[in-house]
Structure 1
Amino acid sequence: MELILRAAGELLDTELSDPVDLGGSSRSTVLRCGTADGGSVIVKAFSGEPDSLRCFTAEAAGLSLGIAGPELLGVDPGFPLLVMSDLGNAPTLADVLLGSDPAVAENGLLAWARGLGRLAAESVHRRADLMRLWTRYDKGMPPWEDEPWIARNSAALLALLDDAGITAPPGLAEELARIGTAEGEGEGYPAFTPGDTCPDNNLLTPEGLRLIDFEVACYQSVFLTAAYCRMPFSSCWCVFTLPAGTAAQIERAYRAEVAGVYPALAEDAVWQAGMRRAVAVWTVDATVRLLPRTVEDGPLHRTRRPAPTRRQVLRHRWETASGLEDLPALAETMRSLLREVAGGWDVAPLPGYPAFGNREASEPPRAPADVTTTG
């Protein structure tokens, strides 16, 4: 920590003190530090592991675009670390979803969806800029968008089914190959994303939504981001069910923003096909990540409560994907997993988000107040 403080202080040409650990990860250390003028900054230092170095490059390049996130005050590629403005202790979207006020939670969801949509729309013509910035901060790792994670997950799913003694239905390999192609994942509609748009990486400040954590910043299909509205939160720990109509409402909010720059997305046939493939992509991802860890079930988050268990989330994902009629082999695979794997799990159904717990299921979503949204 002393080395981090010294390096960050030299970068800003000021003395930093009183570091508070904000809880980084195995890849990074995140500190709130006091400055000589009585203010504070956020310092994020990365380890020397390959994935950590790639996360450093992504965060430095993504924040340097200047279209979202905290202000980037300095970058030291040699350490490596970066210093950002301090956005304070505003609640996250996870905080309000796990809270008790349904109106605050609904407004937070809409702010999140609109904010991501506006960011996508504003970023469409900045892809070359991100690549230029990636080169500036390059630590020898390829950009995230060059990572063949969808194809790798597809191969891993086939191996998992074999290990579980489940026969893959005819056509599954071909469907998995299709959702992993540029056409299948909607590569014709790329946009910038911080990469990890989960609820705890979205601050609801008095000035509007602010995004944090750009470790996986890249350009990807807008459908892969929009699926977070529908599923909800495709790759996150803060996964519960939403009231009827709320998921559709936030999906419409995101879609309205991106359809302004990609007019074809206003066509239902285009939108729905892309969304179904994105749900398939994320369901395969969840299965590959979580199924090997369900031998002993447990909460998805190490410390936050409430948190769903791995089995609860997987069963919910499989139930959702079992209705993907234009991917019949994948849908049949999900039904097989529900019968032959989840059928033996003694686990409660995935509950609703606590914030909506006092809303009757038949009650329509209330009209939310307008929420100012900024990067």
Structure 2
Amino acid sequence: MTDEILRAASALLDTTLAEPTDLGGSPRSTVLRCTAGDGESVVVKAYRDEPEALRCFTAEAAGLALGAGAGPKLLAVDTDFPLLVMEDLGAAPSLADALLGDSADKAREALLAWARAYGRLAAESVGREEEFAALRSRYDRGEQQWDIDHWIHKAVDGLPAVLDSLGVAAPDGLMAEISPVIELTRFPVYSPGDICPDNNLLFPDRVRMLDFEGAEYHSVFVDAVYTRMPFSSCWCVFRLPQGIQASIEDTYRSEVVKGHAELLDDEVWREGMRLGMLAWTVDATTALTPRVIEEDRPLHRTRRPVPSLRQLLRYRWEILLSEVSGEVPELPAVAETMRRLLAATERWDVPSMPLYPAFLSTDLG
């Protein structure tokens, strides 16, 4: 297969690619660093010929083209193979490396750079939906079905069965309080999709983003809430000091309001962030709980340190409970559900979520 990829990519670039190094792809793709005829290296990413991989190929090609400069430069695309050739960004530490390291200052600066980069990309993308749709059509094999079984719909639909598996009775009115997340579409922005710490390389002048397989337009709050939870769908999850959490949220918001001025309204921002937290918490509950009913496991198969899945779930429930509870709870059924989930899983006997390793010696909040 490697030889076929090299031949196709070489023909596409009109040069000879050699010395392939496997960078580790996924079940959907093969990723190779290759040396071109001029001695420069490029990265070739080839996709499997099956529906999910083809959706990722189309999204990544269109996403890299739209978000030029945010990620690696898109050098060439072969829709028939399918594969794409990208600039080789080389070696650089990731945001995950900074957070799992031993310097609070470096981690804080990396977080602020990450928040600034995504806020700026989101703001600059406002109003470019038609351009992105045209790019997606250009690279689409015609076999994709977009926006089918959206993750929020699947999460909401699956919640009752998951609650039942834990012996948690849903309070009256729960689904009515949760249902607004299905309409989490206001203030659309472009996003690479997977904005987790390991997909962000830290260079002296900027953050460069990797993995555009999920590139799409979605509500700004789907990404913005990563600053508060933190990192809603990722494996690199620990607790942030409160002051730093507030700083990265403010940094992201200060950039994205340049594209959506309505987000300057504190009430609009608060409501959207709450919906985003609710959506991602329901998603984690639905997706992860069935995997740990019988036995806990690490959040990532190989990376260390990581929390366990049970730790993550309880952490998500605790954060959402603190967000929606109060003297006059705005979402009383959601708050009660979080209490019941935490009570039902006390028997898991897992430690509370610790700080990110970089902040362990300096709790700033």
Q: Fold match, TM over 0.5?
A: yes
What is aligned with 2:87? Answer: 85
Distance 2:89 2:330 in 1: 44
What is aligned with 1:118? Answer: 120
Distance 1:296 1:5 in 2: 43
8 Å contact kept, 2:123–2:259:
yes
Distance 1:305 1:175 in 2: 37
Distance 1:86 1:16 in 2: 13
**Offset at 1:4?**
1.1
More deviation in 326-335 or 245-254?
326-335
Equivalent pairs: percent with the same residue?
Answer: 55
Distance 2:111 2:297 in 1: 27
What is aligned with 1:9? Answer: 10
Give yes or no for the alignment of 1:53 onto 2:54. yes
* Alignment-mate amino acid for residue 188 of structure 1: R
Match of residue 358, structure 2, among 316, 340, 355:
355
Distance 1:138 1:85 in 2: 22
**1:86-165 mapped onto 2 (5 Å cutoff):** 86-139=88-141, 140-144=143-147, 147-165=149-167
Distance 2:98 2:123 in 1: 26
* Alignment-mate amino acid for residue 64 of structure 1: A
Give yes or no for the alignment of 1:344 onto 2:342. no
8 Å contact kept, 2:24–2:31:
yes
* Alignment-mate amino acid for residue 350 of structure 1: M
Distance 2:343 2:32 in 1: 46
Distance 1:34 1:75 in 2: 18
What is aligned with 1:261? Answer: 259
* Alignment-mate amino acid for residue 59 of structure 1: E
**Offset at 1:105?**
0.8
* Alignment-mate amino acid for residue 51 of structure 1: E
Distance 1:16 1:87 in 2: 17
Distance 1:34 1:134 in 2: 29
Distance 2:23 2:100 in 1: 20
Distance 1:190 1:320 in 2: 25
- Which residues of structure 2 form unaligned runs of 5+? none
**Offset at 1:147?**
4.6
Aligned residues: 356
Deviations 1:50-87 (A, max 9, x none): 11110001001111114321110011111111000011
What is aligned with 1:370? Answer: none
* Alignment-mate amino acid for residue 334 of structure 1: M
What is aligned with 1:215? Answer: 213
Distance 1:202 1:156 in 2: 31
The alignment partner of 1:336 has SS state of helix
Distance 1:231 1:42 in 2: 33
CA-atom RMSD in angstroms? 1.3
The alignment partner of 2:126 has SS state of helix
**Offset at 1:354?**
0.8
* Alignment-mate amino acid for residue 43 of structure 1: V
What is aligned with 1:284? Answer: 282
Distance 2:119 2:74 in 1: 22
Distance 1:337 1:251 in 2: 27
**Offset at 1:15?**
1.0
Deviation beyond 2 Å, 4+ runs, structure 1: 162-165
Cα distance 1:192–1:210, how it changes in 2: closer, same or farther (>3 A)?
same
What is aligned with 2:314? Answer: 315
**Offset at 1:244?**
2.1
The alignment partner of 1:78 has SS state of coil
**1:180-219 mapped onto 2 (5 Å cutoff):** 180-181=182-183, 185=184, 187-219=185-217
What is aligned with 1:235? Answer: 233
8 Å contact kept, 1:134–1:143:
no
Distance 1:142 1:115 in 2: 30
Distance 1:234 1:13 in 2: 42
Distance 1:289 1:321 in 2: 17
Distance 2:177 2:84 in 1: 42
Distance 1:263 1:66 in 2: 21
8 Å contact kept, 2:186–2:220:
no
- Which residues of structure 1 form unaligned runs of 5+? 365-375
Distance 1:322 1:47 in 2: 42
**Offset at 1:221?**
0.8
8 Å contact kept, 2:228–2:245:
yes
* Alignment-mate amino acid for residue 217 of structure 1: A
**Offset at 1:165?**
2.7
Give yes or no for the alignment of 1:300 onto 2:304. no
